[in-house]
C-alpha cells in the first residue's frame, strides 16, 4: 500500500509530539528528584559506621575473643559470630483527625 506524502508527514508529526512529551515528562521527573535533594543529601555510610558505639563494642569484643580464646593443644576458633537485633517500632492510631493512641517500643537483643 502506498501512503500519500501528507499522511506520512502527519505520522511523523505525531511521533515527534510523543517524543517531545516523553522528554518533557522525563525532564520534570529529573527536576523533581533534584529539588527533593535525593542526590544532595547522600550520607557516607562509613562515617556513620565508625561513630556507632554498639558496633564499636562488638568489634572490641571480637578482637578480645580472637586474642584470648585459645586453649593448650587446641586450635583457636576459626569462626566467631555476634548478632544484635535492634528494633525500633512506632504505632499510631487516629480517629476523625485526632490521635487516639501512640506507642513507641525499642528492643535490643
For the chain, helix (H) and strand (E) counts, in that order, are 3, 2
Judgement on whether residues 51 and 86 belong to the same structural domain of the protein: yes
- Of 71 and 60, the structure prediction assigns the larger pLDDT to 60
Q: Write out the residue range of the structural domain in which residue 4 sits.
A: 1-41
Whether 48 and 87 share a structural domain: yes
pTM: 0.44
How many other C-beta atoms can be found within 10 angstroms of the C-beta atom of residue 78? Answer: 5
35, 47: one domain? no
Measure the CA–CA gap between 28 and 39, rounded to whole angstroms: 16
Same-domain pairing of 34 and 56: no
* pLDDT band (50, 70, 90) for residue 9: low
Query: Do 37 and 53 belong together in one domain?
Result: no
Q: What is the pLDDT of residue 7?
A: 52
Answer yes or no: do 105 and 82 share one domain. Answer: yes
Q: Examine the pLDDT at 20 and tell me if it is beyond 60.
A: yes
Task: Provide the domain count of the chain.
Answer: 2
Residues 31 and 54 in one domain: no
Q: Specify whether 57 is located in the same domain as 98.
A: yes
**Structure-model confidence comparison of residues 4 and 94, the more confident one:** 94
Amino acid at each position: 500500500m502506498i501512503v500519500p506524502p501528507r499522511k506520512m508527514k502527519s505520522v511523523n508529526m505525531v511521533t515527534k509530539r510523543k517524543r517531545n512529551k516523553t522528554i518533557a515528562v522525563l525532564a520534570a521527573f529529573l527536576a523533581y528528584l533534584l529539588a527533593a535533594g535525593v542526590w544532595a543529601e547522600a550520607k557516607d555510610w562509613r562515617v556513620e559506621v565508625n561513630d556507632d558505639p554498639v558496633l564499636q563494642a562488638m568489634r572490641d569484643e571480637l578482637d578480645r575473643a580472637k586474642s584470648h580464646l585459645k586453649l593448650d593443644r587446641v586450635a583457636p576458633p576459626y569462626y566467631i559470630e555476634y548478632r544484635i537485633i535492634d528494633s525500633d517500632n512506632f504505632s499510631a492510631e487516629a480517629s476523625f483527625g485526632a490521635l487516639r493512641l501512640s506507642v513507641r517500643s525499642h528492643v535490643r537483643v
